[in-house]
Structure 1
């Protein structure tokens, strides 16, 4: 199946400047599988999304077709052909 990963400007430099990375994944792929595929293709991007154990970093927000994966099955959230995975780092300030 094909999944598009939308990246914000601050992460694009770690994916060759692309705002959308198209991934070919297995039919039973999950968000975790998509992140692993990104890390294989773009190691610097993978390090910004996942920690040394492979867990999603706390400041990274993930949405599948607009739904926050924290309200679904987190990294275990199933993907489907044509899904869009949005990656958004948290913004802090004051």
Structure 2
């Protein structure tokens, strides 16, 4: 199943400066594996050493935050838009 993945500026060095790429997979985990095959090193910026989503990376599948869905097991139907968004912290 082909999906579209929106890549944040900070990770575009892995995607040859592409802001949106295609990947395959019926779950988010499979999509990340597909991304890693095409763009080596990108998965390590999204997942930690234990294979879990990094704390400061948010991923949305069809505008739903995967942390409140099924995490890496979130279904990614054909044509789904996935957004990888680094968390922004700050304050006064």
Length-normalised TM-score, structure 2 = 0.89
Query: Residues 1-94 of structure 1 correspond to what in structure 2 (within 5 A)?
Result: 1-25=1-25, 29-94=26-91
State the number of aligned residues: 91
- CA deviation string 1:55-75 (max 9, x = no partner): 211111010111111221111
Instruction: Quote the Cα distance in structure 1 between the aligned partners of 2:38 and 2:47.
Output: 14
The alpha carbon displacement at 1:51 in A equals: 1.6
Q: CA RMSD in A?
A: 1.3
Moved over 4 A (4+): none
SS across alignment from 2:13: helix
Greater fraction helix: 1
Q: Which runs of 5+ in 1 are unaligned?
A: none
